[in-house]
Amino acid sequence: MLKHNSFVGWLMALPIMAVLVFFLVLPIIMIVTVSFWQATEFSIIPAFDLENYEFLFGSNVTYRVFFNTFKYAFITWVFTLGIGFTVAYFLAFHVRSLTWQIVLFLLCTIPFWTSNIIRMISWIPFLGRNGIANSTLISWGVIDEPLDWLLFSDFAVILAFVHLYTLFMVVPIFNTMMRIDKSLIEAARDAGASGAQILWNVIIPLAKPGIMIGTIFVVTLVMGDFITVRFMSGSQSANVGRLISNDIALLAYPSASATAVVLLLTVLIVIGIMLRYVDIRKEL
Amino acid sequence: MEPRPVSFYILSAFFALFLLFLYGPTITIAILSFQGPGGGLTFPMRGTSLHWFRDLFEQQAVGDIWGSFRRSFALGLMVMVTTVVLSVMGGLAFRKKFKGSGIVFYLIITSLVIPSILISLGVGLIFSQAGLNVHWSTSGFGSQLTWTLPFGLLIMFAVFNRFDKSYEEAARDLGATSWQTLRHVVLPIIGPSLIGVALFGFTLSYDEFARTLLTAGSYNTLPLEIFGMTTNVTTPVLYALGTLTTVFSLLMIVLFLCLALWSTRRKARAGSDAGKGVL
């Protein structure tokens, strides 16, 4: 029976495996292979050559760009965690009726199902030189000249990341918070804990899996991004994703592949470390 | 009910600001898309008009907005149906603890965390080396599945983690075959969640950019078309298009949520005959 079960299970997982093999595993193998190839101006030639990697690790730009990528990921993580945790905490512990919890939670998640590109574009009228932010600050007398660093800067990149990805923190944290047994909090209060002590010693430790899952989402999305950085920085800043997409635009596929391999390894190492602290399957 | 603590009001204000942050920019471009014919990309409004929307319906100098919309819509439906079917099959498969399930699980997580541009690059390279043409309905379709399937499967895992096995046992004890159990017991119970999976499948595909960048071929999908416009269009027509597709997305979301609500209600009605029984 068990053997038969295993076979049926295997058969039903087959379509998914087929998709993943063809569109995930093979592409990765292809990228790893091509990263050792050589490129001329017009074509790429099969070879076994470490040149792409030598160039990559020999260049100062690489280290700067990787540093920039980590910088974006870290700053975005701090803000999305702070905002996401506060929002989830409010929804889970301060909103009292389940209907309102669902309604407000949906309000937080709806933007996830709309276009990221348009949500980026929608910052232009707010941050532009003659945008709402500048004209408001001028009319308040805070500044005399419009600020130039609002749009097309690192500030804009991080703002857009926080805007796009905070809900990836809200959802898993809210999910774990909703499962915290309310009697634990009552017990803590009866034992004389203050609100801050309950938050620090009861809620945060119990919400940790949600925080880890949100962190995995935010860190990987930011590290793998290239379009937000390109659009919001007005092509003035770079992260690893942009390095790859620039190489692709120049048809330098072997060098793009080598960078992609290093990026993938970096992301997988970061995720591997995080997965040690959370069992995703248990948290669903 | 005990009185609200002060922190409630502070957090409410924080939450309201968060919603403003989330929706404010989108509302701003929605307003600006009604800019008069002489207006620009920022305030002030120079009159109000439907000029820029009318512009969208006229022959475009660059690109093919309506063609790309039709392609994105068709692709969204294809990805949606495939995601729902494969996720249910995968969800059921994982309940049976088949050999190699651990590997498949880690592949799914990899699919979720891999930088999108790698999928684009890898699939593009495979197709070009194999001498095949990339096309939105083949390479684009498969690349998008690597993004929607993990969400679909994770939802199915969550659903089956909460699934009460005694329903199936009851059906089996009454003599149902495994297909009958699936068709008449399991599927109706997980029905509302499937609508959720469908919502993810459609919207994530409809808005996907990075994974289709190098895999859509010469016929663009809508997000690619819109991104192309950002580099050469500097009039509010961009906002008009953004507003229209956002309204379209919102309509789809509302449709799916209503469907989910309806099917939950139906399930609640049909699922129990408590109080109606005749002992």
SS (H, E, C) chain A: CHHHHHHHHHHHHHHHHHHHHHHHHHHHHHHHHHCCCEECCCCEECCCCCHHHHHHHHCHHHHHHHHHHHHHHHHHHHHHHHHHHHHHHHHHHHCCCHHHHHHHHHHHHHHHHCCHHHHHHCCHHHHCCCCHHHHHHHHCCCCCCCCCCCCCCHHHHHHHHHHHHHHHHHHHHHHHHHCCCHHHHHHHHHCCCCHHHHHHHHHHHHHHHHHHHHHHHHHHHHHHCCHHHHHHCCCCCCCHHHHHHHHHHCCCHHHHHHHHHHHHHHHHHHHHHHHCCCCHHHHC
Residue A55 maps to a domain:
no
Mean pLDDT score, B242-258: 89
In this complex, do B246 and A114 lie within 8 Å of one another by their Cβ atoms?
Answer: yes
Residue A23 maps to a domain:
no
The two tokens of residue A213 are: 């899952």
pTM: 0.89
Which chain B residue has its CA at the smallest distance from A106's CA?
B257
Q: How far is CA A199 from the centre of its chain?
A: 26
For the domain that residue A247 is a member of, what is the CATH number? 1.10.3720.10
Q: Per the structure, how many domains does chain A have?
A: 1
Residue A176 to residue A210: CA distance in whole angstroms: 6
Task: Please state the ipTM of this predicted complex.
Answer: 0.86
Which chain B residue has its CA at the smallest distance from A126's CA?
B25
- Predicted local distance difference test score (pLDDT) of residue A259: 92
Give the domain range for residue A144: 62-283
Minimum-distance CB partner of A12 among B26, B89, B238 = B89
Q: Please list, in sequence order, all residues whose beta carbon lies within 8 angstroms of the beta carbon of residue A13, skipping any fewer than 6 positions away.
A: B89, B90, B93, B94, B98, B101, B104
Residue B232: band (very low, low, confident or very high) from pLDDT cuts 50, 70, 90: confident
| Residue B147, pLDDT above cutoff 60 | yes
Residue B44: cis peptide before it, omega within 30 degrees of 0: yes
**Contact, B160 vs B95, CB < 8 A?**
yes
- Predicted local distance difference test score (pLDDT) of residue A160: 93
The two tokens of residue A268 are: 């997988």
Residue A28 to residue B121: CA distance in whole angstroms: 9
Residue A18 maps to a domain:
no
Question: Counting Cβ atoms within 10 Å, is residue A228 exposed (0-12), middle (13-18) or buried (19+)?
Answer: buried
Residue A110 maps to a domain:
yes
| Residue B278, pLDDT above cutoff 60 | no
Which chain A residue has its CA at the smallest distance from B246's CA?
A114
| Residue B99, pLDDT above cutoff 70 | yes
Residue B275: band (very low, low, confident or very high) from pLDDT cuts 50, 70, 90: low
Q: How many CB pairs under 8 A join A and B?
A: 263
- Predicted local distance difference test score (pLDDT) of residue A277: 80
Among residues A220, A243, A280, the alpha carbon closest in space to that of A76 is found at: A220
In this complex, do B95 and A9 lie within 8 Å of one another by their Cβ atoms?
Answer: yes
Residue A37 maps to a domain:
no
Residue A106 maps to a domain:
yes
pLDDT per residue rounded down to tens, chain A (284 residues): 456 777 888 888 889 999 999 999 999 999 999 889 887 766 777 878 888 888 888 888 889 999 999 999 999 999 999 999 999 999 998 888 888 988 899 888 888 888 888 888 888 888 887 788 888 888 888 888 878 778 888 899 999 999 999 999 999 999 899 888 888 988 998 998 888 888 898 999 999 889 999 999 999 999 988 888 988 888 778 889 888 988 888 888 898 999 999 999 999 999 888 888 877 777 76
Q: How far is CA B271 from the centre of its chain?
A: 28
In this complex, do B246 and A94 lie within 8 Å of one another by their Cβ atoms?
Answer: no
Helix, coil or strand: residue B234 = coil
Residue A56 maps to a domain:
no
- Predicted local distance difference test score (pLDDT) of residue B62: 56
Minimum-distance CB partner of B29 among A16, A125, A225 = A125
Residue A180 maps to a domain:
yes
